[in-house]
Amino acid sequence: MNQHRGTYCRCTTVQNYDYDEAASKLKCFRRWLENNISRLPHQKIGGSVAFCDCELALIQAMSTVLPDGVLTEDVPEESPDSKAALPNLMTIRPSGARRRSKAVS
């Protein structure tokens, strides 16, 4: 149940939001967060609940509704390291450069 934070949290510094701040960031009701806290990613620090940006982003993703047909492509073509996708120049051979050696008689 307790997943390691490293699986989703990319925070380099601690920046947490309480219920009110999280609700205001998500534009949802604080009460909704409180009522659903057991199934929402959050931190429990002492008796308090806190959220970081990543947890708010997860809640946002969990709450996103995408009707059918909104996205036509399921898999976004993303190639951050497109260097590997460059054509391999070594395999390209010049064509039509064949030379006939003349036999001198």
Which residues in this chain contact Zn ion in the complex, by CB under 5 A? 9, 11, 52, 54
The two three-digit tokens of residue 9, written as one number: 């949290």
Give the shortest CB-8-to-Zn ion separation in angstroms.
7
Nearer to Zn ion, 9 or 37 (CB): 9
- Check if the beta carbon of residue 59 is closer than 8 Å to that of residue 26: yes
Nearer to Zn ion, 44 or 100 (CB): 44
Nearer to Zn ion, 31 or 48 (CB): 48
Which strand (E) or helix (H) includes residue 23? helix 19-26
What are φ and ψ of residue 35, in 5° steps? -70, -30
Give the shortest CB-11-to-Zn ion separation in angstroms.
3
